[in-house]
Structure 1
Amino acid sequence: MLEPHLTLTMALGEGPHWDGHQQRLHWVDILGGELHQLDPDNNQHQVWRFDEPLAYAVPDENGGYLAAFRSGLWHLDDQGNKQHHLVEGPQDPAVSWCNDGHCDAHGRLWIGTKNAEEQHPTAALFSHDGQTRQHVDGVTISNGLAISPDNRWLYFSDTPTHHIYRYPLDIEQGTLGTPELFADTRALALPGSPDGAAIDEAGHYWVAMYGGGVVVHLDDRGNVVETVPLLAPNPTKVTFGDSDLRTLYVTCARQGLEQSTLDQYPDAGSLFSMRVETPGLPGHRYRDMRHAAT
């Protein structure tokens, strides 16, 4: 079972990312506009607060962070200060804004947006490596971004549909092929809706089920291996961390929960973790391809 690792009251904890260079875990509270950093060796926890919602942040190979705010992509310095506004959007924030992110092995950032009202298919999937490109449209709430160990598949879900897809990925060109359905969580009778995910070195897909109070472990064919509960109804995203990549970290949310539910689940909004047998895949730093050596 997943246990509380760090007691927090995050409104919408999201985007956990393990940086092997720093040996630090990073994650955000989207609605709180916060970037969190944790050193698991000594449990040192830092929080940087911003003036707008923050969907995702990943260390930049040239220092600092690339951060996806409601206003667009920014470069932060090592102390979490906004330095440069790199690009707008990628969509009108009155309609859709950044929700999920994942860096591939080349350092390209994949960004999924969500409809501002979470009701209309105005969102999309983009990539950014110094230039921003759109790959998928007609999405309501982007989630589930993860890439297979051999870099052949990019996984992606539109949460309200309960469908998790995988797209053929050309890692060199940063392009996607025709998707195939990987898993239908409703057909699998899984509780909640598919949210953020991560893949282990065996190619298995671990996904937080928002509203279901569980993390589901699927094999590389989309079959359920195990369902792991946690004492929080709204897990949002998972990642693998620590020096051996065998600790599964899970963020979760308190948003929208009634007081009676919070009384029942006092750790809602905290960071959870558990040890796993199969290591996860290492995280990647952002790399601006315009400045990469040829």
Structure 2
Amino acid sequence: MRDGNAMQRRATILHDHRSELGEGAAVDPVTRQLRWFDINGKRRVEYDFATGGVSVAELPEMTSAGAAVDAASEMIFAQSGLWLRNRATGGLEVLAAIEADRPDLRSNDGRTHPCGAFWCSTMALDKTEGAGSIYWFFKGEVRTLYPNLTVGNAICFAEDGSYAHFSDTPTGKIWKVALDPSTGLPVAEPELFHQAGEDDPSGPDGAVLDRDGLLYSARWGGARVDVIDREGRTIGRIETGAPNTTCPAFCGEDLASLAIATARDELNAAQLLLHADSGRTHIIEAGCRGRLDPPVLLG
């Protein structure tokens, strides 16, 4: 699926805070604050749009994604599985173990389906091929959906819950799969939706779908977010200047902007000098019709 002549734009810096491996960017539907995770730093970072300030919470494990639960708590996806986090105290309670007996793995991507189910992926710390999986969590139940992935990513859902996208970053492939809207479970085999071009060394990292079905795909190794239409064609590119661009999130009062997390991870000293904004979170008025992920249902 070849790309046409894509329109290019450039994001600016939202805040000077740097993460070693920024991931899981999303605006919480309860607090309306932007949060992301520094996986390697074991930190949860939150940006307050009203004050422009950042708050950082230390975590006991590598953590990469999260979801709202209610006004009192949120769920976070950490190395040993899913945890309930008290918003006020930071206290943690185990919800579901996922690969807790595999210290060679960690959490990676995750997002809430419109019905309240949560999809999440694991990967090997050393990116061993085929060591990761994508899981489904709903009302306390965990199922394996797609094993034998290397770096499962790009988990996102149609507004009506009828389909999902996901990727395996090193392959350059993004898939589309039909779902049962009431459970978020697949009802068909995945089909190839988008394939990176032979001359594109980047891989699809985190992604979001807007209300018009446009996919915003962060590109690890590509210093950008690609805008992909319903047919799998790249119609726009948002440059970040940070080679390892990891995860976009809809933000702003009308959700027409994108906040974009990036990483310093896997860049050498020369690359970091050349790409000084790596690890910072970027922002752009994208003109999209964004939406927020709903709270996850625990029971």
2-structure distance, mates of 1:190, 1:249: 23
Runs (4 or more) in structure 1 with deviation over 4 Å come to none
For structure 1, which runs of at least 5 residues remain unmatched after alignment? Answer: none
Tell me, yes or no, if the aligned pair for 2:119 and 2:136 is still in contact at 8 Å.
Answer: yes
| TM-score, scaled relative to structure 1 | 0.93
How many positions carry a matched residue from both structures?
A: 288
Per the alignment, residue 185 of structure 1 pairs with: 196
Per the alignment, residue 227 of structure 2 pairs with: 217
User: Does 1:2 pair with 2:11?
Assistant: yes
* Residue 25 (structure 1) aligned to one of 5, 30, 34: 34
1:202 alignment partner AA = D
User: Does 1:252 pair with 2:262?
Assistant: yes
| TM-score, scaled relative to structure 2 | 0.92
Q: 1:208 aligns to what SS in structure 2?
A: strand
**Following TM superposition, by how much is the alpha carbon of 1:62 offset from its aligned partner in structure 2, in angstroms?**
5.9
1-structure distance, mates of 2:183, 2:273: 50
* Residue 101 (structure 1) aligned to one of 99, 110, 119: 110
Matches within 5 A, 1:256-275: 256-275=266-285
2-structure distance, mates of 1:202, 1:208: 18
Per the alignment, residue 84 of structure 2 pairs with: 75
1-structure distance, mates of 2:152, 2:230: 21
**Following TM superposition, by how much is the alpha carbon of 1:254 offset from its aligned partner in structure 2, in angstroms?**
0.3
Tell me, yes or no, if the aligned pair for 2:44 and 2:58 is still in contact at 8 Å.
Answer: yes
2-structure distance, mates of 1:198, 1:114: 20
**Following TM superposition, by how much is the alpha carbon of 1:191 offset from its aligned partner in structure 2, in angstroms?**
4.6
1:248 alignment partner AA = L
1-structure distance, mates of 2:295, 2:47: 17
**Following TM superposition, by how much is the alpha carbon of 1:174 offset from its aligned partner in structure 2, in angstroms?**
2.9
**Following TM superposition, by how much is the alpha carbon of 1:91 offset from its aligned partner in structure 2, in angstroms?**
5.5
Q: 2:128 aligns to what SS in structure 1?
A: coil
Q: Deviations for 1:28-74, whole angstroms, at most 9, x for unmatched residues?
A: 11111111111212212211011221111222126211111112211
Q: How large is the Cα RMSD of the aligned pairs?
A: 1.5
1-structure distance, mates of 2:54, 2:163: 34
User: Does 1:235 pair with 2:245?
Assistant: yes
For structure 2, which runs of at least 5 residues remain unmatched after alignment? Answer: 1-9
Per the alignment, residue 280 of structure 1 pairs with: 290
Per the alignment, residue 58 of structure 2 pairs with: 49
Q: Deviations for 1:243-294, whole angstroms, at most 9, x for unmatched residues?
A: 2111101000001211111111111100001001122122211211x2xxxx
* Residue 111 (structure 1) aligned to one of 116, 120, 128: 120
Distance 1:190 1:216, change over 3 A: farther
Tell me, yes or no, if the aligned pair for 1:208 and 1:215 is still in contact at 8 Å.
Answer: yes
Per the alignment, residue 136 of structure 2 pairs with: 127
**Following TM superposition, by how much is the alpha carbon of 1:102 offset from its aligned partner in structure 2, in angstroms?**
0.2
User: Does 1:34 pair with 2:43?
Assistant: yes
